[in-house]
């Protein structure tokens, strides 16, 4: 189950970075002692303010880690709902589509932090790559530093998208990627530059103290003690076919005494999960809008997780819960490979194949949970490196990283 080569790469990468990061800490200390330290201003760009639990958790992780590495950092976030973002995260936020506000903040910033997540892909929207690339180009025109932070690269189906991403990555002062496949994707694009492979930023968040909160949410929804199957589906082509297989799995486990909880990570997920609830007697559909703390608390009580949403699967792994990914995007396969768990194609998906994967995990449940605790701890350490590398970039004129492990 363990991905030995990936584990060795993680250990080697952490070792290679440690000396540089210690030097960054010394440089920061010396600048403060000389009185030359100016509070850095970081502008964060990503898919924030859209009500996606996973993306909001990513923003929380980035802000938390930046403040750990640079306690005095001044943070501004580009958001679809700036008032909500400002209130929820204690930062300044401006509308991501208001050009005057965006340009003003770029002018004021020391660093544009683009991330995390799969920002540079052209599957969900043709405009994604262009929007995020224009921000990077604008920052470089103004002479600002740029960090691509915890990025997952691709899929990139169009020639223009591939060309644009190649130019953006070349321009960035620092590039950190959340998985090795993203580095390979850049190599296929012809990118030859230093970069770091770390992990999804969310993996650096602390898990403690959330289990009771999750238990209370489940209790109020009518979910008691015992075995619980958690399910996450999202709108996507052919998801209705996969929904039938998931319903068969859930009904089978219900006959064995399991409870079934449907967990939306975005308001749009309700349109897929509501019909699924009708197919499973006694299934519970939670309300959308769960915070990171609430979602992690709920998922910590699951016996098994089956889902499409990447951060549903990440949260489950962080809680030590065995899971099966339903892959609609390479990012799902990439993460499940990182943690040594099965990932099945969304379509075609058979109930027998899904049941076999779940039963296989449950047959080794204790071993799987132990492995997940160990693997997530390793990935958490790697995810925490991102912000420390940003601190190094902001305290040194040498922003380029080392070659990825």
Nearest to 304 by CA among 345, 358, 267, 357: 358
- Predicted model pTM: 0.89
The answer to whether residues 259 and 224 touch, using CB atoms and an 8 Å cutoff, is yes
Nearest to 309 by CA among 325, 292, 322, 294: 325
174-177/145-151 β-pairing: parallel
d(CA 399, CA 197): 16
297's tokens: 């608390």
Between the CA atoms of 226, 231, 232 and 237, what dihedral angle is there, to the nearest 10 degrees?
A: 180
179's tokens: 């998985």
| 404 against 45, higher pLDDT | 45
d(CA 7, CA 378): 8
The answer to whether residues 114 and 147 touch, using CB atoms and an 8 Å cutoff, is yes
339's tokens: 């943690």
d(CA 307, CA 299): 12
For tokens 């591939």, name the residue: 162
d(CA 30, CA 19): 17
Helix axes 127-141, 99-108, angle to 10 degrees: 40
Q: How confident is the model at residue 18 (pLDDT cuts 50, 70, 90)?
A: low
Q: For residue 12, what are the β-bridge partners?
A: none
Q: What values do phi and psi take at 319, rounded to 5?
A: -85, 0
The answer to whether residues 96 and 78 touch, using CB atoms and an 8 Å cutoff, is yes
Check residue 3 and give its pLDDT. 31
Q: Mind listing the pLDDT tens digit for each residue in 94-136?
A: 999 999 999 999 999 999 999 999 999 998 877 899 999 999 9
41's tokens: 């201003």
Strand runs labelled E in 47-202: 74-79, 92-95, 111-117, 145-151, 174-177, 196-197
Q: Mind listing the pLDDT tens digit for each residue in 300-357?
A: 999 999 999 999 999 999 999 999 999 999 999 999 999 999 999 999 999 999 999 9
**Domains in the chain and their CATH numbers?**
10-197+381-394 (3.40.50.2300), 211-363 (3.40.50.2000)
d(CA 377, CA 2): 13
């Amino acid at each position: 189950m363990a991905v030995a080569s990936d584990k060795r790469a993680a250990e080697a990468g952490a070792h290679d970075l440690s000396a540089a990061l210690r030097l960054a800490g010394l440089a920061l200390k010396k600048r403060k002692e000389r009185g030359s330290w100016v509070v850095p201003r970081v502008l964060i760009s990503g898919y924030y303010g859209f009500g996606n639990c996973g993306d909001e958790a990513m923003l929380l992780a980035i802000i938390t880690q930046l403040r750990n590495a640079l306690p005095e950092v001044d943070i501004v976030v580009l958001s679809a709902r700036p008032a909500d973002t400002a209130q929820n995260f204690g930062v300044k936020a401006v509308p991501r589509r208001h050009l005057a506000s965006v340009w003003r903040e770029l002018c004021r910033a020391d660093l544009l932090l683009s991330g995390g997540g799969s920002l540079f892909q052209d599957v969900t929207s043709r405009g994604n790559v262009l929007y995020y690339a224009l921000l990077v180009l604008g920052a470089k025109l103004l002479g600002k530093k740029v960090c691509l932070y915890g990025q997952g690269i691709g899929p990139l189906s169009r020639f223009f998208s591939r060309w644009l991403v190649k130019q953006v990555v070349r321009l960035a002062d620092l590039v950190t990627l959340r998985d090795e496949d993203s580095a390979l994707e850049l190599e296929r694009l012809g990118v030859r530059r230093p970069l770091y492979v770390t992990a999804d930023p969310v993996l650096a968040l602390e898990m403690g103290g959330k289990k009771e909160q999750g238990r209370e949410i489940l209790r109020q929804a009518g979910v008691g003690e015992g075995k619980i199957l958690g399910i996450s589906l999202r709108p996507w082509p052919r998801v209705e076919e996969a929904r039938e297989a998931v319903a068969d799995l859930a009904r089978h486990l219900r006959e064995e005494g399991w409870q079934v909880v449907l967990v939306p990570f975005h308001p749009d997920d309700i349109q897929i999960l509501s019909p699924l609830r009708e197919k499973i007697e006694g299934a519970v559909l939670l309300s959308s809008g769960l915070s990171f703390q609430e979602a992690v608390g709920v998922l910590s009580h699951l016996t098994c997780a089956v889902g499409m949403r990447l951060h549903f699967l990440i949260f489950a792994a962080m809680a030590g819960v065995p899971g099966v990914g339903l892959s609609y995007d390479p990012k799902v396969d990439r993460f499940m490979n990182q943690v040594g768990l099965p990932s099945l194609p969304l379509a075609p998906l058979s109930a027998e194949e899904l049941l076999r994967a779940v039963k296989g995990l449950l047959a080794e449940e204790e071993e799987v949970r132990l492995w997940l605790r160990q693997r997530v701890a390793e990935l958490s350490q790697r995810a925490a490196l991102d912000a420390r590398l940003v601190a190094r970039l902001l305290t040194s004129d040498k922003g380029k990283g080392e070659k990825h492990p």
